[in-house]
Amino acid sequence: MPACKICKRIIPTMICPVCKEKGTNDYKGIIIIFDTNSEIAKKMNISEEGEYAVKV
Ligand SMILES: [Zn+2]
């Protein structure tokens, strides 16, 4: 599945439903955020639980 270049979400379609931007398949790693208060979520600026690309 592609990832959004802007919000880094893993998205089921080529267009991100949040940003309305085209996703890319050229990304590295997937991280699953369960807790938006965790260090990693803060570091990546993630405010919603879900699957994200580590590097887009
Ligand atoms: Zn997005």
Question: Are the C-beta atoms of residues 33 and 46 closer than 8 Å to each other?
Answer: yes
Helical H segments across 1-56, by residue range:
39-43
Q: Cβ contacts of residue 49 below 8 Å, gap of 6+?
A: 33, 34, 35, 36
- Tell me the per-residue pLDDT of 26-36, one tens digit each, with 9 for 90 and over: 999 999 999 99
pLDDT at 25: 97
Ligand 1 centroid to residue 45 C-alpha, Å: 13
Ligand 1 centroid to residue 11 C-alpha, Å: 8
The model's pTM is: 0.88
Ligand 1 centroid to residue 17 C-alpha, Å: 7
Phi, psi of 3 (to 5 degrees): -120, 145
| pLDDT lower than 50: segments of the chain | none
Residue 13 structure tokens = 């379609």
Domains in the chain: boundaries? 3-55
- CATH number of the structural domain 3-55: 2.20.28.90
d(CA 19, CA 26): 18
